[in-house]
């Protein structure tokens, strides 16, 4: 029996890629917010910056957007409050913040997520399986680091702007891999191919950052010969 | 006897009819598959045209949008359409070498618009320089739209079949199909070469390609010296023979070695060592441990001792996993009590006898240096204000994390739980900005951070 597919710790570097594609969820302000941190003279940081940029855009404020709540910001807040029929106190509390269209720190406190359901069934087993099959189809009989290097080329392509952004997208791009075209990718991968997929996903890259590889005895593509070869492993040249 | 000479012709005739029916069935089936494949390609092609048109109109709208909300939704639309265009383009049966610039254009455009949308959300509207970039990018979108429309006309006028492009042309008609599409995409590629170099905070930023390895300190070393250091690193008593494999190019230039362990039962090790400074970049053995004799904690201890022995002090284990009797332990550098995630090293340990099977320090060598700005402006209490207290915070520490474009941010790392789920929430320790959220997924083999 095949060893069961195992699950991988994607370290920070590997996750940046996926994380940077996640869009931040905007969280609705709950009505029963219990306490809020007001922003007033002397406050500093991101929220002050937000308030300043809003006030500046609407011509209440002409100072720098420096994240420091000083005299100018205070005057601008008062002016804004007067014009908008709010209590004129120079303090950005919940009402003023809402009028400015921003959410204060702490206003989200005590949010009840009764409907929250825990995440289930998310793994990266599919990535490992697909990579292992690509390795098995493309590099059976190559030395171990040659296998890791092929998986690394696939991952380098995922991160490269000139290629698709997913492992499946890269592997199944028409004409990109012969093992896909002739169906060898559908063979059952062996233990070593799985191991190589793991190592490549964990960051090992014997290809030296390559995005192409070719077998000089087999390729008919003249263009590929013009690329800088980073490394020769077994029958393959790894190039960029 | 009479009539016997009819038997053979009859059998043959029946066989012939049988074969003809079978052949016709095969033929119609093949035609059906062809049509099906062709339709899939047509769908991709028309989706591509639609998305490129939408990119163009949204880029125009962006130029007249005055409110941040409108800008943000328009930017998100551009990102959605450029993702869609890129996916569909990559599915067309055209050599990826002929699509290099076009794919890069679409990926960077989407990435750039996502970056601008985030900025807008944080109160930093699109600057004049960024507007200029967008105007130039719009010119490319216009050219791409025109070219794709012309290709569409060619295709319907001359009966080009996408499916036939897949099998390199043998007959005349296939040859023309290929020529029409190839010529058109060559023109597109030419036009896509010209657009501004985009440096911004995103994974496809040109800034990433231009990064240098700042952790590579020390003078150039010779191959002899490299061999000596490799022997030292793998262990004098462990090494049987060392074979020189030559040199490697890339961001870190290397000398390459293969090491045969003295113990013949262990598979060879491959080791790459940097020419500059003689740092081990990575080491790997395909040795397959037969069983597990230790816990993951013991393996972590073993990996940590190994790093100390090799002079990597101040490395703390951050993540660990195990599969097939091998433990993989991830370490990050720690300076003044702050975890520096960009400087990370991975170590593979055999859970059979504790020997080290792998070492990977490329990221560490790319990023490592002594940081001089690790004093947070916000206190932990102030930073806590930015985390929803509906979450149960279980631990807090200071950490430096990489952004999408490999810049660094000093953050408070809050480990939180929500129902069964665990998260790391990173709050910028200077501004209070929520920089990143990672979800931790525990499995039997280790933790997945997504």
Residue A46: which of B202, B360, B431 has the nearest Cβ?
A: B431
Residues A185, A94, single domain; the answer is no
Q: Which CATH fold would you assign to the domain B380-449? A: Nuclear Transport Factor 2; Chain: A, (3.10.450)
How confident is the model at residue A22, as a pLDDT? 36
Contact B385/B439 with Cβ under 8 angstroms? Answer: no
- Select from B108, B248, B383 the residue whose CB has the most chain A CBs within 10 Å, as the one to mutate to test that interface: B248
Residues A214, A164, single domain; the answer is yes
Q: Are B321 and A8 inside 8 Å of each other by CB?
A: yes
Which residues in chain A are closer than 8 Å to B300, comparing Cβ atoms? none
- Select from B66, B163, B367, B390 the residue whose CB has the most chain A CBs within 10 Å, as the one to mutate to test that interface: B390
Residue A81 lies in a domain: yes
Which residues in chain A are closer than 8 Å to B286, comparing Cβ atoms? 144, 192, 195
pTM: 0.81
Contact B388/B437 with Cβ under 8 angstroms? Answer: no
How confident is the model at residue A86, as a pLDDT? 82
Mean pLDDT of chain A: 79
In chain A, how many domains are there? 2
In the 8-state DSSP scheme, what is residue A3?
Answer: P
Six-digit token pair at B266?
A: 């262990």
Q: Are A231 and B446 inside 8 Å of each other by CB?
A: no
Which residues in chain B are closer than 8 Å to A57, comparing Cβ atoms? 68, 125
Q: How close A82 gets to chain B, by Cα (Å)? A: 23
Express each pLDDT in A201-225 by its tens digit. Answer: 999 999 999 999 999 888 877 788 8
CATH code of the domain covering residue A66: 1.10.101.10
The length of chain B, given as a count of residues: 450
In this predicted structure, the answer to whether residue B354 has a pLDDT above a threshold of 90 is yes
For CA atoms A40, A45, A51, A57, the dihedral sign is: positive
Residue A75 lies in a domain: yes
Which residues in chain A are closer than 8 Å to B68, comparing Cβ atoms? 57
Residues A81, A185, single domain; the answer is no
Q: Is B280 helix (H, G, I), strand (E, B) or coil?
A: strand
Residues A73, A161, single domain; the answer is no
Range of the domain at A69: 46-100
**B321 close to A (CB below 8 A):** yes
Residue A204: which of B101, B284, B418 has the nearest Cβ?
A: B284
Q: Are A175 and B93 inside 8 Å of each other by CB?
A: yes
- Residue whose tokens read 């290097």: A149
Express each pLDDT in B277-316 by its tens digit. Answer: 999 999 999 999 999 999 999 999 999 999 999 999 999 9
Please identify among residues 255-274 of chain B the ones whose CB lies closer than 8 Å to any CB of chain A.
256, 267, 270, 272
Q: Which CATH architecture has domain B288-372?
A: Roll (3.10)
Residue A202 lies in a domain: yes
Contacts of B9 (CB under 8 A, 6+ apart): none
Which residues in chain A are closer than 8 Å to B108, comparing Cβ atoms? 161
Residue A13 lies in a domain: no
Please identify among residues 70-99 of chain B the ones whose CB lies closer than 8 Å to any CB of chain A.
76, 83, 86-87, 90-97, 99
The packing angle between helices A191-201 and A125-139, to 10°, is: 120
Among B155, B37, B154, B147, which Cα is nearest to B102's? B147
- The predicted model gives B99-109 an average pLDDT of 91
Q: How close A31 gets to chain B, by Cα (Å)? A: 15
Express each pLDDT in A38-49 by its tens digit. Answer: 788 888 777 788
Query: d(Cα B215, Cα A181) in Å, to the nearest integer?
Result: 41
- The predicted model gives B159-188 an average pLDDT of 68
H helix intervals, B223-293: 223-234
- For chain B, the structural domain boundaries read 13-209, 211-278, 288-372, 380-449
Determine what percent of chain B is predicted with pLDDT higher than 90: 66
* Residue B390 pLDDT class (50, 70, 90 cuts): low
Which residues in chain B are closer than 8 Å to A108, comparing Cβ atoms? 388, 390
Find the range with the poorest average confidence among A225-229, B287-291, B338-342.
A225-229
Among A154, A103, A105, which Cα is nearest to A132's? A154
Query: d(Cα B433, Cα B443) in Å, to the nearest integer?
Result: 31
């Amino acid at each position: 029996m095949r060893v069961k597919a195992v699950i991988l710790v994607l370290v920070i570097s590997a996750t940046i890629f996926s994380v940077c594609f996640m869009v931040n969820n905007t969280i609705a302000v709950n009505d029963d917010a219990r306490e809020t941190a007001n922003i007033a003279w002397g406050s500093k940081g991101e929220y002050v910056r937000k308030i300043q940029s809003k006030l500046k855009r609407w011509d209440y404020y002409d100072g720098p957007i420096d994240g420091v709540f000083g005299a100018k910001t205070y005057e601008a807040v008062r002016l804004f409050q007067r014009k908008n029929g709010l209590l004129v106190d120079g303090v950005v509390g919940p009402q003023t913040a809402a009028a400015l269209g921003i959410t204060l720190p702490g206003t989200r406190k005590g949010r009840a997520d009764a409907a929250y359901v825990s995440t289930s069934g998310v793994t990266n087993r599919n990535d490992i399986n697909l990579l292992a099959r690509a390795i098995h189809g493309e590099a059976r009989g190559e030395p171990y680091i040659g296998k890791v290097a092929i998986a690394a080329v696939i991952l380098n392509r995922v991160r490269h702007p000139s290629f698709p952004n997913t492992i499946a997208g890269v592997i199944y791009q028409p004409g990109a891999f012969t093992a896909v075209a002739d169906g060898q990718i559908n063979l059952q991968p062996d233990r070593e191919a799985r191991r190589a997929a793991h190592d490549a996903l964990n960051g090992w890259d014997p290809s030296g950052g390559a995005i192409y590889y070719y077998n000089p005895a087999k390729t008919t593509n003249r263009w590929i010969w013009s690329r800088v070869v980073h490394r020769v492993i077994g029958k393959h040249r790894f190039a960029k | 006897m009479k009539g016997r000479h009819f038997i053979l012709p009859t059998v043959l005739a029946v066989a012939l009819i049988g074969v003809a029916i079978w052949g016709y069935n095969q033929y119609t089936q093949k035609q059906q598959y062809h049509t099906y494949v062709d339709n899939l390609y047509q769908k991709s092609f028309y989706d591509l045209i639609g998305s490129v048109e939408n990119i163009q109109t949204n880029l125009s709208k962006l130029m007249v949008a005055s409110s941040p909300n409108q800008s943000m939704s328009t930017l998100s639309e551009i990102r959605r359409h450029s993702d869609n265009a890129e996916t569909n383009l990559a599915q067309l049966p055209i050599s990826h070498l002929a699509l290099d610039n076009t794919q890069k254009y679409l990926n960077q455009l989407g990435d750039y618009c996502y970056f601008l949308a985030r900025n807008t959300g944080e109160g930093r509207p699109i600057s004049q320089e960024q507007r200029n970039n967008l105007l130039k990018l719009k010119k490319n979108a216009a050219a791409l739209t025109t070219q794709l429309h012309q290709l569409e006309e060619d295709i319907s006028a001359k009966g080009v079949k996408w499916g036939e492009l897949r099998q390199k042309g043998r007959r005349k008609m296939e040859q023309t199909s290929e020529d029409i599409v190839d010529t058109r995409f060559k023109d597109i590629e030419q036009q896509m070469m010209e657009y501004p170099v985009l440096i911004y905070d995103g994974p496809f930023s040109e800034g990433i390609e231009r990064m240098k390895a700042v952790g590579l300190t020390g003078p150039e070393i010779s191959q002899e010296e490299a061999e000596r250091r490799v022997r030292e690193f793998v262990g004098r008593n462990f090494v049987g023979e060392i074979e020189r494999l030559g040199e490697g190019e890339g961001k870190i230039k290397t000398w390459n070695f293969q090491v045969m362990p003295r113990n013949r039962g262990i598979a060879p090790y491959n080791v790459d060592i940097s020419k500059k400074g003689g740092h081990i970049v990575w080491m790997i053995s395909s040795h397959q441990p037969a069983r597990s004799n230790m816990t993951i904690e013991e393996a972590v201890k073993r990996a940590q001792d190994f790093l100390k022995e090799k002079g990597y002090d101040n490395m703390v284990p951050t993540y660990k996993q195990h599969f097939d009797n091998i433990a993989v332990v991830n370490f990050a550098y720690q300076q003044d009590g702050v975890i520096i995630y960009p400087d990370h090293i991975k170590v593979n340990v055999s859970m059979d006898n504790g020997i080290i099977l792998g070492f990977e320090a490329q990221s560490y060598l790319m990023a490592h240096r002594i940081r001089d700005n690790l004093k947070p402006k916000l206190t932990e209490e102030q930073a806590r204000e930015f985390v929803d207290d509906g979450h149960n915070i279980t631990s807090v520490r200071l950490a430096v994390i990489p952004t999408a474009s490999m810049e660094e941010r000093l953050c408070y790392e809050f480990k939180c739980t929500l129902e069964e789920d665990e998260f790391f929430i990173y709050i910028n320790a200077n501004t209070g900005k929520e920089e990143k959220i990672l979800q931790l997924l525990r499995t039997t083999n280790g933790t997945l951070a997504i």
